[in-house]
Amino acid sequence: MKMKEAIVALAALAQDTRLSIFRLLVQVGPEGIPVGQIGEELQVAPATLSFHLKELYHAGLISSRQEGRFIYYTANFEHMAALMTFLTQNCCQGVPHECLTVAETQLRDCCPPKRKPKSTRSQS
Amino acid sequence: MKMKEAIVALAALAQDTRLSIFRLLVQVGPEGIPVGQIGEELQVAPATLSFHLKELYHAGLISSRQEGRFIYYTANFEHMAALMTFLTQNCCQGVPHECLTVAETQLRDCCPPKRKPKSTRSQS
DNA sequence: CTGACATTTCGATGATTATAGAATTATGAA
DNA sequence: TTCATAATTCTATAATCATCGAAATGTCAG
């Protein structure tokens, strides 16, 4: 990821409405939700919502797909991951003990790895 | 970390000059560097630089300490880590297979954990 | 095609932000 | 205290951004 790209992504997230949209989409997952539903959930006017969706889309943070009359928006997990990598990758040149290992540790709280070591379903 | 806090931090980073400053400080490490040196390195006028440092400081992303006539600025690694955690923590509710494990994986490239398992210096 | 609904674009307004010259504050040296 | 240097605050200007009503576009049903 290049500097410009990172700034566009960060700027897209650095806004109340857009961060809410993004987090909502992250929570919803890969299936996504239609625009109207986002607007209802977050109480945002259609025009305003469209403006912000375009911004997030342009930043590569979300994707869209048409389904009937509805347009479903989805969080772009890989781009988000790339952004976080960019923000950490040049860290601790020569001073490995400080660094962002802290971050790495904390990030483990995201998506706790299946707390069911006993019930192993071998099916899909 | 709260929503407002995250937005302030993201907005602080979503700017050419400030992202450059932050990355420079990240590279420099915990020791930090004085303002003048930052301005020289990045070719930014003193007033402009001060403006951006205040912004980053207010966002909790950097710290400062006085040393003689110089003020040293340092990246705030823990706050950065908290921000990244915030951006990922509500991810994949009910859909663990997509998620941001991708991010976690990539983040391992940051600060490779001491590739010298032989030469162990037990001194400071 | 016509009508109904989902979403986007247009346009105008108010608010916030980046920039840097000039003045000010703060620190150390003589 | 006086001078020189480091950094910040003040002030004004130009640029960008968020918001939303109204109009336009796109999609499906009949």
Give CA–CA dist B108/B8, Å, rounded: 27
In chain B, domain spans: 3-78
List the Cα angle B13/A60/B27 in 5-degree steps.
35
Residue B15 to chain A, least CA–CA distance (Å): 6
* Nearest-CB residue to A99 (from B14, B77, B99): B77
Q: Is the CB of B17 under 7 A from strand D?
A: no
- For B50-113, give the DSSP string: HHHHHHHHHTTSEEEEEETTEEEEEE-HHHHHHHHHHHHHT--TT-TTTTTHHHHHHHTTSS--
CA distances from B101 to A4, A124, B7 (A): 25, 20, 23
CATH architecture for segment(s) B3-78: Orthogonal Bundle (1.10)
For residue A107, name the pLDDT band (cuts at 50, 70, 90): low
Other Cβ atoms within 10 Å of B87 Cβ, number: 26
Residue B51: which nucleotide is closest by CA–C1'? D8
For A10-42, what is each residue's pLDDT tens digit?
999 999 999 999 999 988 888 999 999 999 999
Closest-approach residue (CA) in chain B for A79: B103
pLDDT mean over A84-93: 73
Interface residues 41-60 of A with strand D (CB < 7 Å) = 44-48, 51-52, 55
More confident residue, B109 or A118: B109
Q: Tell me if B92 and A3 make a contact (CB, 8 A cut-off).
A: no
- In chain B, residues with a C-beta closer than 8 Å to the C-beta of A80 are 87-88, 100, 103
pLDDT mean over B18-43: 92
More confident residue, B30 or B40: B40
- Spanning CA of A55 to C1' of D19, the rounded length in angstroms is 14
Asked whether the predicted pLDDT for residue A49 surpasses 90, the reply is yes
Q: Which residue is nearest to nucleotide C29 (CA to C1')?
A: B69
Q: Tell me if A106 and B81 make a contact (CB, 8 A cut-off).
A: yes
For B43-69, what is each residue's pLDDT tens digit?
999 999 999 999 999 999 999 999 999
Q: Is the CB of B63 under 7 A from strand D?
A: no
Asked whether the predicted pLDDT for residue A65 surpasses 70, the reply is yes
Predicted local distance difference test score (pLDDT) of residue B112: 46
Q: Is the CB of B46 under 7 A from strand D?
A: yes
- Choose the mutation target among B2, B105, B110 for the interface with A, i.e. most A CBs under 10 Å: B110
pLDDT mean over A68-82: 90
